[in-house]
Structure 1
Amino acid sequence: MLFHVRMNVNLPHDLPASDVAEILQKEKAYSQELQRNGTWRHIWRIAGQYANISIFDVADNEELHRLLSGLPLFKFMDIEVMPLLRHPSAVRDDDR
């Protein structure tokens, strides 16, 4: 199943810089592994915001929830999820 996921990150201003650096390092490694295995299909930064739009390809809602809640930044995020279905007028059979 494909899901459109918007993630807005809200790091506390009083979070120590060393903690931020450690969280971001873990976040990058986790997200890049999901991208390499094809689960996290696409990620785009939203210009001017600490936010992204991503496309996930997972078996079901439960898997998506597990992956998102495993993000090191999860507790600092507001997340919106929209399930996607192939549009009947689409000219491609995939999401290229």
Structure 2
Amino acid sequence: MTSTGQDYFGTQEQISVLRRGRALFDLIDTDPQMTYYGRTVGLADPDGQSMNRLVSLISLQGNGSIVTVENGDISHWQAEAQRRGLTTTHYAR
């Protein structure tokens, strides 16, 4: 791995993702609907505008997430994402 000397590590592509995520968070950090975990900005909870906002986040960052989705709603969000040509990953705990 390479380092930029500014707490960013990885390939140039990975470092670019990290920098974009941090810069975006610096702009929107007062919005309680947004969440940030050190890589990319995501949505804290789904609402009526979530899919449009998620698509925008993905366009800006190359990645996006909705952190808290009820188990019964996951298939709805996955189907909507796939309908828009997005790929999904589901992490559960």
The verdict on a shared fold, with TM-score over 0.5 as the criterion, is no
TM-score by length of 1: 0.35
Higher relative contact order (CA 8 A, sep 6+): 1
Identify the structure with the greater helix proportion: 2
Q: TM-score by structure 2 length?
A: 0.36
